[in-house]
Chains A and B, each alone.
Chain A
Amino acid sequence: MRTLVRITFRQHQFEIVALGALLALSAVGLLVIPVIWSMLPIAECTAAGSLAPEDVTAELIRRCTVTFDTIRVVEGIGQALVIAGVAGPAVAGVILGAGLVSKEIERGTAVMPWTMGRSRRRWLLERMLVIGVLLGGFSLALAALTDNLMFMFDQTPLDRSLYLYEVRGWMVPARGMVGLAAGVLAGAILGRAVPALLVGALVASLCSMGVYDFGNELNRAQAIEYDDPGGLYISEILRDHTGAIVSYDEAYARISVEDDASWARFQAEFRSSSIGVPGPESRIVTGREVLMLVGLAFVMTTGAVVVVERRRPY
């Protein structure tokens, strides 16, 4: 196994190092941002809004201007890093997967392992395992750092929060596995690295979008009224003082909002409620989408094995 790990790494050294460096860079960014955030005098500047004008010094204005400018920059970088953290493992998976079989076929090197007596299935799965473990490790590290960043912005315990759940936790490595499997399948069928890369990326994207849409449907099906900060918002309803659900049209028919006084009456009469999936359900919501992604990765890997078992090495 050590030989296989070493040789697989050597064969894909460039991609692994290049993608690893990019993911590591993202990781460093995700690690540094919370540190910078914690050093900013955010509470002091937020409180400054309620100070009497004579208490607001020029120094305070200067410091808070710098702080808010920094927050804008840090949030922008944070969002970019979150996107990179989410897409990165999937893209890395496709790049590594597409080359795993197709390069061997393109260069004619598949002939050697395919004629030495070892089963092609084992040959493929062992190499996928090596790449998968590397990719999974990187992805999990990124996911942990992304979670940390999310918590910094959201302040809701992650096991009770569905805030941007699509880009956190196990969803990140699961997308990486889908990318890897899609790349390997495309490479096994096409036998050419560049077309495999493009087709693999397309298939991985379709899989991710499909799971996202199907997951949304399931979330809608189990949506209820909730009032915790970690819930997944889908829609909202109005209830009157008796608790009956009313539509906005009906509500506006009952109280015509024309001024502050009528608006206050409207607010006293009606209460809006969020409809969605409560935060404590986050494990179920995330778990089933991870399972869907892993299932798709498994199906594509099985397909790749079947193709490799049957195809010519050229």
Chain B
Amino acid sequence: MSESALEAFGVAKSYHRRRPPALAGVDLALPSGTITALVGPNGAGKSTLMKAWVGFERPTHGHVEVAGIDPFRHRYKALAHLAYIPQAAALYRELTVTEHLDLAGSLRRGFDRPLALRRLDDLAIPSGVKAGTLSGGQQAQVALAIALASRAPILVLDEPLAGLDPLARREFLFLLTVHAREHGTTAVLSSHVVSDVQQAADRLVVLGMGAKLLDTGVADSLEHHRIAVGAVTPAGGLRVIASFLGEAGEAVTLLATDGRPTADEGEGGLGRPTLEELMLGYLAAGRPNLLDRVRAGKAGH
């Protein structure tokens, strides 16, 4: 496998001529063995990019690679390296969980059925019942168990947590993380709620309006950003990324450091951002936001 498990080279995708592109020239390389959170608002292009890796959406320009393989030229070679879970766990409602494992076993060479059964057993998901009778969380877990048991070195998970209750989300991410760390699996999971994936990700990619806004390690990015409430005059070594609305409606500013020691919380009103604030800051930088409009309105009066 190449250094990067999943790559995108200037990927653009337009569905309609008159509408903005879903992806506008995205370059991305996700290193092997990492868990990447691909975050951004609805319509940011997350699903389109993931579907390009799976070979479902051919880029209008540029190309993608899975373990160095172009999935549109060598579909089955590329698919042999990955497992994919779509937004809604696509299970056959009339088949039992066991039959899903049978089906997966007949479709995937080397499918690790005992592993899938163990995962499902850990979660007390009955294997004899029809998938249609399982809860959304259980269906997602079945889909994950199948993906993990496929022994794919790369997992592409498109909003796998959407519609799951908080406990189910946590369990899903826990199993994913444990498996990925044990087996050195590369995983990329998308979400428009960054706190969903914070638990698992060691890498963060923010997409907005079809463009890559941020691509960095989670620990690194938290280390090199600061957050400030209210008006901020950037001191030396700090650069304003953008201001956005805080939870209480206050103006919050995201700043990037240049690597030199920077004042922390309590010193000069700066604090370390959460992953969500980091994402919000970069999203705000990528488009005119409510705060800018409110400020512009006030200045006008």
Contacts and interface: CB of A to CB of B under 8 A. Distances in A.
Given A108-B86, A111-B86, A116-B79, 4 more contacts: A7-B99, A7-B106, A11-B95, A112-B91
B80 interface: yes
Given A3-B103, A11-B94, A109-B91, A117 B86 contact: no
B99 A10 contact: yes
Interface in B104-157: 104-109, 146, 150
Majority DSSP secondary structure for residues of A touching B: helix
A117 B76 contact: yes
Interface string A131-159: 00000000000000000000000000000
B90 A116 contact: no
Contacts of B109: 117
Contacts of A110: 90
A99 to B, nearest CB: 12
A118 B95 contact: no
A115 B147 CA distance: 10
A72 to B, nearest CB: 46
Contacts of B90: 107-112
Interface string B231-258: 0000000000000000000000000000
A112 B104 contact: yes
B107 A116 contact: yes
Nearest to A8: B103
A314 B86 CA distance: 11
Q: How large is the interface on A (under 10, 10 to 19, 20 to 34, 35 or more residues)?
A: 20 to 34
Interface in A250-307: none
Interface string A1-35: 00110110011010000000000000000000000
Interface string B60-101: 000000000000000010011011101010111111000100
Contacts, number: 68
A116 B150 contact: yes
B202 interface: no
Contact of B84 (A109, A111, A123): A111
B102 interface: yes
The 8 closest A-B pairs by CB, nearest first: A116-B107, A108-B90, A115-B84, A118-B107, A116-B108, A111-B90, A3-B106, A117-B79
B54 interface: yes
Contacts of B84: 111, 115
Find the residue from B90, B94, B102, B150 having the highest chain A CB count within 10 A. Answer: B90
B57 interface: yes
B92 A109 contact: yes
B103 A117 contact: no
Contacts of B174: none
Interface residues of B, number: 29
A3 B76 contact: no
B102 A3 contact: yes
16 contacts: A7-B102, A107-B92, A108-B90, A109-B90, A112-B92, A113-B107, A116-B104, A117-B76, A117-B80, A117-B107, A117-B109, A119-B76, A123-B107, A312-B51, A312-B56, A312-B57
Contacts of B99: 6-7, 10
Contact of A10 (B57, B86, B95): B95
Find the residue from A110, A116, A119 having the highest chain B CB count within 10 A. Answer: A116
A312 B56 CA distance: 6
Given A10-B94, A10-B95, A115 B103 contact: no
Contacts of A109: 90-92
A88 interface: no
Given A107-B90, A109-B90, A112-B90, A4 B80 contact: no
A313 interface: yes
Nearest to A123: B107
Contacts of B88: 108
Contact of A3 (B51, B54, B86, B105): B105
A235 B146 CA distance: 67
Interface in A221-237: none
B220 to A, nearest CB: 32
Contacts of A108: 86, 88, 90
B102 A117 contact: no
A142 to B, nearest CB: 28
A112 B103 contact: yes
Nearest to A115: B84
B187 to A, nearest CB: 15
A3 to B, nearest CB: 5
Contacts of A6: 99, 102
Nearest to A311: B56
Contacts of A118: 106-108
A109 B86 CA distance: 10
Interface in A97-127: 107-113, 115-119, 123
A314 B87 CA distance: 12
A111 B56 CA distance: 9
Nearest to B87: A108
Contacts of A10: 94-95, 99
Interface in B45-61: 51, 54, 56-57
B76 to A, nearest CB: 6
Interface in B19-54: 51, 54
A118 B109 CA distance: 9
A1 to B, nearest CB: 8
A294 to B, nearest CB: 28
